Structure 1
Amino acid sequence: MLHRLGEVGVIEKPVPEPGPNDVVVRTTAALVCTTDVHVMRGVIPVEPDVTLGHEAVGVVHALGSAIEGLVKGQRVAAAGITPCFQCDSCQRGFSSQCHGRMLGGAQFTTQRDGTLAQYFLVNNAEANLAPIPDELSDHQALYATDMLSTGFVAAEHAELELGETVAIFAQGAVGLSATIGCRLLGAGLIIAVESVPARQDLARRFGADLIVDHTQCDPVERILQLTDGQGVDAAIEALGAPETWEAAFRVTKPGGRISNVGYHGEVHEPLKIPLEPFGYGMSDKQVYGGFNRGGRGWLRRIFRLMETGKVDPTPMTTHEFSFTEIERAFRMMETKEDGIIKPLIHFDSDLDPGMEAVVDTN
Structure 2
Amino acid sequence: MKAGYSIFVLFVSLALFGIVEVCNARGAHGFSNLSYNYYRRTCPRAEKIVRGIIRERARINPALGAKLIRMQFHDCFVRGCDASVLLDTVNGSFPSEKKAVPNLSLSGFDVIDDIKTALEKACPKVVSCADILALAARDAVSAPFGRRLWDVPLGRRDGRISLASEINGNIPGPSANFSSLLQTFNKKGLDVNDLVILSGAHTIGVSHCGAFSRRLYNFTGKGDADPSLDRTYAIFLRKQCPNPASQTITVEMDPGSSLKFDTHYYDVLLQNKGLFQSDAALLTDGHSRGLVTTLRRKRSFFPAFATSMMKMGAIEVLTGNAGEIRANCRVVNP
Say whether the fold is shared (TM-score over 0.5): no
Structure having the larger proportion of residues in strand = 1
Q: How does the TM-score come out when normalised to structure 1?
A: 0.25
Structure having the larger proportion of residues in helix = 2
